[in-house]
Structure 1
Amino acid sequence: MLINFIGVLLINLPLCVVADILLYGYSEPIALDDFKDMPSAFGGEIPYEGLQARVRYADPADGCQPLQPTPNYTSTLKWVALVSRSNCTFEMKIRNAQSANYDGIIVHNIGSDYIEEMSVKNATGIEIPSVFIGYHDGMHLKRTFSMPEGYYIVITPDVPFNINTHLLLPFAIVVAICFLVMIVFMVVKCIKDRRRQRRQRLPTSALNKMLIHKFAKGD
């Protein structure tokens, strides 16, 4: 019964996931790194299979002026602009990236790795997806895509299944349940043993009827 309960618990346990940016090399089949991000609730949606693209650090870096257009823009190669926070609204940065034919935009924080959800006053006409990341992750992406080696990112709507993280909470719950069951079993056993010992004792009335013989010194 306990095993069935644990199985039902694990099946129905919700997995809390957030969007992720995965870094790949064209010669590497597995992700080289991943960065936590916060997707915006407006604009285009991140495809279920993820948005695969190259990253270009914006010029100007804050994205508050019209951006340099995407290099060698084609329908098969997507580009994402990486811009810094501050100096203007998120809406202006996103619209400037969209006007320069970028397929998405990543805004990194300044002096902090705190990530937050971006907001705009008017989302009408915004069609590209946008995400927000921490400062150090933004600098890491900037350095990576400034090198000649071929890299690309995949912005995912959620983190791919990771056995090391997704099973940690269920495992902890199973251990806690087993520990509680063990404690309950020990308490019940202790109570039963105590009652059994009390039943084996003679009642007070029987003890009073017993003959008492007192021995004197030397008997």
Structure 2
Amino acid sequence: MEMLPRCPSVKYLELEGWEDARRQQESVHYTSHNITSLAIGAGCPISFLEMVFLSCDLPSLNVIVLDSSESGSDNWGTETLISFISRSSCMITTFTLRGISLSDLDLIAALRVMPSLLYLEFEDHNWNYAETQRAYSPITSKLISSLILRKSTSISLVPKLHTLHLVSWLDIGTFDDSAFVRMVESRWFKPGSDRSAAMLRMGKGCIRSVVLKFGWREVDADAYNRLQTFDKEGLRVVVAAMD
């Protein structure tokens, strides 16, 4: 982090975490109007994420990629991320998280400060935590229901969403397939249709690609029959179980 002020022209920033990040004390607050993409690499501890978001302002940032899949990370709350985005006044269009344990409510809270989001990807991990520590995945029925597009743009979560990519390895017990279908149905409108024109006038985007994969349950194909119609109309749909 101490090298960043010496690289004022950097646009794409990729950082790796240190094992002793909990003991790092960032004394310099860094601001860049050039950085548009921030990637924090595999194996970073949650404390490193926190340090970066507390010590940086990046007003031109559009892309955030967080990967902690190799570290067996602690559970993460998104308060520092929300504060960072609000403080930076940046417009996030791509948000990718892999291997980070966080709750559905924390992810929903983060998405509320990303009204311009186009691409959302989340892949959880089947963390081998001790019995005293619980791992969380936000890929739940609550998250899916919150993504249903409402009539009012002001109360809709990420109304411009173009691509949704979810991979779930962590067994959460139950998943509401019908809610997922309703969510996709609320966001898909056939190109050139009257509904398409009306939705665009209201500032809502049409979803173009949906991927949902499970590593802990089988998929009931009949529950997703409705999506086959959308697939024929041009929506890319993948719903599958993984071995």
Scaled by the length of structure 1, the TM-score of the pair is: 0.27
* Higher RCO (CA-CA < 8 Å; seq separation 6+): 1
After TM superposition, the score normalised by the length of structure 2 is 0.25
